[in-house]
Amino acid sequence: QQQVKQSPQSLIVQKGGISIINCAYENTAFDYFPWYQQFPGKGPALLIAIRPDVSEKKEGRFTISFNKSAKQFSLHIMDSQPGDSATYFCAASLSQGNLIFGKGTKLSVKP
Amino acid sequence: DVKVTQSSRYLVKRTGEKVFLECVQDMDHENMFWYRQDPGLGLRLIYFSYDVKMKEKGDIPEGYSVSREKKERFSLILESASTNQTSMYLCASSRRQGRGEAFFGQGTRLTVV
């Protein structure tokens, strides 16, 4: 019930393409769904986040789509760039702030 | 600039040693966390703390303990290091309420030989 399942494990996209990463959860008590971006040698950093009362949130080239009934959410990266190459983690949080992370997706954007 | 600082980037310890990993945050956050990151397994929560002297077990607490004597400092202790504790350890902090952003340190790469 506490798991967040993330797919795919790795993703290769051409420059200018769309990168899509999917996550699913079981616990309906989760009330905050962030995405973190991690570059090699660095700690994860918050990229974008959504609350379950919203179906979509867009920040620049990054969009979260949220489907509450299906208990799924996804990250879309439009016009993917080589600088987007990183590991992406979805997460879900309970009200006290404890984050449960997916296993991560390693994204490579080819020039 | 907000900061979570982990005391070491790299550590090499021997099997059986007691190991201390230190983490300090300067954001006056109530919540602090220790995660372990392994390839293909993502970030797994070891322990977290909502307040000074308070701690809660995460998903993989076995072989670890923690200490939070001051609000800004959260220590992870490996009581008797073993080779299967070789990993990247990440500390994070966040506000208690508001389900806000968690800020991570740079990580400590621990190798137990």
- A17 to chain B, minimum CA–CA distance in Å? 25
Model pLDDT, residue A22? 98
Between CA A73 and CA A56 the distance in angstroms is 9
> For chain A, how many structural domains are there in total?
1
Is the separation of the CB atoms in A50 and A65 below 8 Å? no
How many structural domains are present in chain B? 1
What pLDDT is stored for residue A99 in this prediction? 86
**Which residue of chain A has the CA closest to B58?**
A98
Beta carbons of B102 and A43 less than 8 Å apart: no
Give the per-residue pLDDT at B75: 97
Angle (CA) B23-A93-B69 rounded to 5° is 30
Rounded Cα distance between B10 and B51, Å, is 28
Partners of residue B32 in chain A, C-beta under 8 Å: none
Structural tokens at position B39: 């390839």
Q: Are residues A32 and B90, on separate chains, in Cβ contact within 8 Å?
A: no
Q: What is the CATH number of the domain that holds A86?
A: 2.60.40.10
Could you state, in chain order, the average pLDDT of each consecutive group of 10 residues for chain B (113 residues)? 88 97 94 93 92 91 96 97 97 78 93 98
Residue with tokens 């954007």: A109
Q: Which residues in B lie closer than 8 A to residue A46 (C-beta atoms)?
A: 101-102
CB contact under 8 A, B43 and A101: yes
The amino acid at residue B34 is W
Q: What is the extent of the structural domain holding A92?
A: 4-110
Distance from C-alpha of B20 to C-alpha of B78, rounded to nearest angstrom: 7
Residues of chain A with pLDDT below 50 are none
DSSP string, A46-80: EEEEE-TT-SEEEETTEEEEEETTTTEEEEEESS-
| CATH label of the domain that carries residue B85 | 2.60.40.10
